[in-house]
Amino acid sequence: MVDHLAFAQENRERIHTVENSFGPSGKTLFQPGRVLIGEGRLMKQSRRGPQPKVFFLFNDVLVYGSIILSGRWHKKQKIIRLEDIQLEDLEDSVRMRYQWLIRTPCKSFYVAASSYEEKQAWIEHIEDCQTKLLQNSNLKPGSTFAVTWIPDEASAICMRCSNKFSVTQRRHHCRKCGFVVCGACSKKRALIRHIHPTKWLRVCNVCHPNLSRAETEPQDISRVRGDSTGKISLDEDEVDEGSFEEEGAEEQMEDHDPSRWMDSWSPYVYIKPEHMMPRT
């Protein structure tokens, strides 16, 4: 009984510490039965290149966010339900070692650890928590996942019409296929409900005809909006995590090899191996 109460108190304190690190903009994380399993830092691939992020694994959700103030504070909190996650192990690439793919309905992205052992620990513990969650509940695993976006740097030309990108010819991403496309090749909008239930999202001219009539808008609504001063602003669907992240010292790394930039950072911490409270 004493061990059970001690664990419950320690777990509550750890979760509140995570909550507080995200400040007032973060969502409440503590709830009955939720246990903080582990935490660490991973390199997350965004459309403009790899960015270091902090990740927290709970027995029912995976939480991550951007790192500020030397890691003491975080922002842009994202919460993913474990039943909605699908993992795929990947081989090392030229720029990203110890990587794997995390698929979710709203966003799919690559992450990389600082070592092979740490990568395997993350994958093993996420899958273990997911299995236990599905076995002990009426939840079902996700079956529909968002495509991974091709990074901006991967193509200097539109992947549909081959026109070169420039200051005036901006890059966009089709939410259906993830291709890097120009504005002319992505004028259409569609509902992709597993990404967002009500928001019309940018899709390319190739994907648009393949979507059902119920998913596509009856007219071409692509536009560049101007404010009262005539200043051009972005379509709201272009403002996405990874598109315009602050380029602070903590978030902009010249060397994209996690095994080097994470040497001085806290590795993945496996907090509670049993994944459950002590027996009474």
Contact 244, 7 (CB under 8 A): no
Given this model, what pLDDT does residue 267 score?
A: 56
Cα distance between residue 53 and residue 261, in whole Å: 12
Other Cβ atoms within 10 Å of 144 Cβ, number: 12
Of 33, 43, 155, 159, the C-alpha closest to 97 is 43
Q: In tens digits, what is the pLDDT along the chain, a chain of 280 residues?
A: 667 788 889 999 999 999 999 999 899 999 999 999 999 999 998 877 789 999 999 999 999 999 987 667 899 999 999 999 999 999 998 878 999 999 999 999 999 999 999 999 999 999 999 999 999 999 999 889 999 888 888 899 999 999 999 999 999 999 999 999 999 999 999 999 889 989 999 999 999 998 877 677 654 444 433 333 333 233 333 334 433 333 333 333 333 344 443 443 445 676 654 444 445 4
Burial 149-178 (b: 16+ CB within 10 A, else e): bbbbeebeebbbeeeebeeeeebbbbbbbb
Predicted pLDDT at 172: 95
- Give the phi and the psi of residue 200 in degrees, each rounded to 5: -80, 120
**What is residue 108's DSSP assignment?**
B
Backbone φ and ψ for 103, nearest 5 degrees, come out as -100, 135
Q: Are 14 and 36 in contact (CB under 8 A)?
A: yes
DSSP, res 279? P
28: how many CB neighbours lie within 10 A of its CB?
8
- Which domains does the chain possess? 2-145+247-270 (2.30.29.30)
DSSP state of 208: G
For residue 5, the model assigns a pLDDT of 86
Q: How many CB atoms lie within 10 A of CB 210?
A: 12
State pTM to two decimals. 0.76
Query: How many Å apart are CA 260 and CA 97, to the nearest integer?
Result: 11
Q: How many helices (H) and strands (E) does the chain have?
A: 3, 14
